[in-house]
Amino acid sequence: MLPGKRIENLKKPDWFLIGACWLLTQLLSLYYLGINAGEESIKYIDLADKWIRGGGDYGWPNLFYSGYTAIHVFIRMVGLPVKSMYIVQLLLSGIAVYYFIRILCLYNRSRRAILIAGILYSTCFIIQQWVSALFTDSAFSSLLVIALYFLLTEEISKRNRIIFWTLLILLPTFRPVGFLFIFLACCYWIFISVRRNAGKLVICSVYLFLIGFVINQSLTQSPAYFYPFHNIQANVICGYPGNLLQYRKVPYQEGMSIFSYLLRNPGMTFRLFIYRFFKIFAMNRDYFSTKHNLLLIATTGVYYILAITGALRIIFRKQKEKYFLLAGLLFFSIPSVIFCVDWSGRFSLPVLCFVLLLGGIGLDRVFKVRQDSKRII
């Protein structure tokens, strides 16, 4: 856990302002978008119906959505309508805003920096718009932020440990990428537990090798989930033909190792992964309106400038306890790089949570520079 840091606490008007901004964002989202119980959500609703009737598949890949589906089952069994899931996601989103601010309180010393970062997160429409969509993305991102706090907090208690371990178990049952948080948490524990750098390097290397082995074996057993295997064209954005990359490839053979396949197609793999990595952060799309794209560029531009400021501060000051945030940003980019980027950008939600946390640290740096300049004057 992080060593405790005393900061100037947010005042009641600050909390009220952040809460009001969050509530207004939710009302606007609900008014313009409504509750989306179609598209992706049908998969979870149908699966819940099958479970209630005593049927349904409990294995791969439904296992990785079982926690979310279980809430649907509970809602149906107590006689509530399907759209009641929106209330669950709304509550989780509000709790996530609170713990997002608490995370920054562990790192920042400027009250104004925390306040502005809290407003940016609570009004980030790219994240908050998914609260009203009955997909797994909003609930997962909210649980991720909450789990981050209980991983990083210096307040070690039985209650906090129970909450953290519960969240650690729940995350992979909302989305498969929840396993990435388990990997990150283990790396973080290794980092803070092992004092010598050589020991950290050896343990993390062995651990990353084991992760790679598990991923390799999983994808080798289920090649249908690794899209480049069966296509001569590769999608940068899922299902969108406008960003197809043409390539010549070595044909996939049954039982071939995933890593072996990638090594035999290095040029295609490198180009495809670079394009996808860029698209994770570039939220604009060819099929969005000009106004929509300009708004996305303007808002994400602010997020990324602040995040880069925060990242540079962490790197140049060698604030090793904050490297975890940089690792989280990169780790949660991996699924979209390997598979494809969602057409609507919802796969980027976990990445944006880390971007905004880094942005909060960047804001702290901005206010520190302003204070220092005032002292000089």
**According to the 3-state scheme, what is the secondary structure of the chain?**
CCCCCCCCCCCHHHHHHHHHHHHHHHHHHHHHHCCECCCCHHHHHHHHHHHHCCCCCCCCCHHHHHHHHHHHHHHHHCCCCHHHHHHHHHHHHHHHHHHHHHHHHHHCCCHHHHHHHHHHHHCCHHHHHHHHECCCHHHHHHHHHHHHHHHHCCCCCHHHHHHHHHHHHHHHHCCCCHHHHHHHHHHHHHHHHCCCHHHHHHHHHHHHHHHHHHHHHHHHHCHHHCHHHHCCEEECECCCHHHEEECCCCCCCCCCCHHHHHHHCHHHHHHHHHHHHHHHHCCCCCCCCHHHHHHHHHHHHHHHHHHHHHHHHHHHCCCHHHHHHHHHHHHCCHHHHHCCECCCCHHHHHHHHHHHHHHHHHHHHHHHHHHHHHHHC
- Identify the band that residue 143 occupies on the pLDDT scale cut at 50, 70 and 90: very high
In the chain, the percentage of residues whose pLDDT exceeds 90 is 42
Q: What is the mean pLDDT of residues 272-298?
A: 88
- Identify the band that residue 8 occupies on the pLDDT scale cut at 50, 70 and 90: low
pLDDT score at 3: 42
pLDDT score at 259: 65
pLDDT score at 238: 78
- Identify the band that residue 201 occupies on the pLDDT scale cut at 50, 70 and 90: low
Task: Indicate if the pLDDT at residue 309 is higher than 90.
Answer: yes
Task: Indicate if the pLDDT at residue 351 is higher than 70.
Answer: yes
Task: Indicate if the pLDDT at residue 325 is higher than 80.
Answer: yes
pLDDT score at 244: 67
Among 63-77, 133-147, 210-224, the range scoring the smallest mean pLDDT is 210-224
pLDDT score at 219: 57
- Identify the band that residue 85 occupies on the pLDDT scale cut at 50, 70 and 90: very high
Task: Indicate if the pLDDT at residue 4 is higher than 60.
Answer: no
Q: What is the mean pLDDT of residues 259-284?
A: 80
- Identify the band that residue 375 occupies on the pLDDT scale cut at 50, 70 and 90: very low
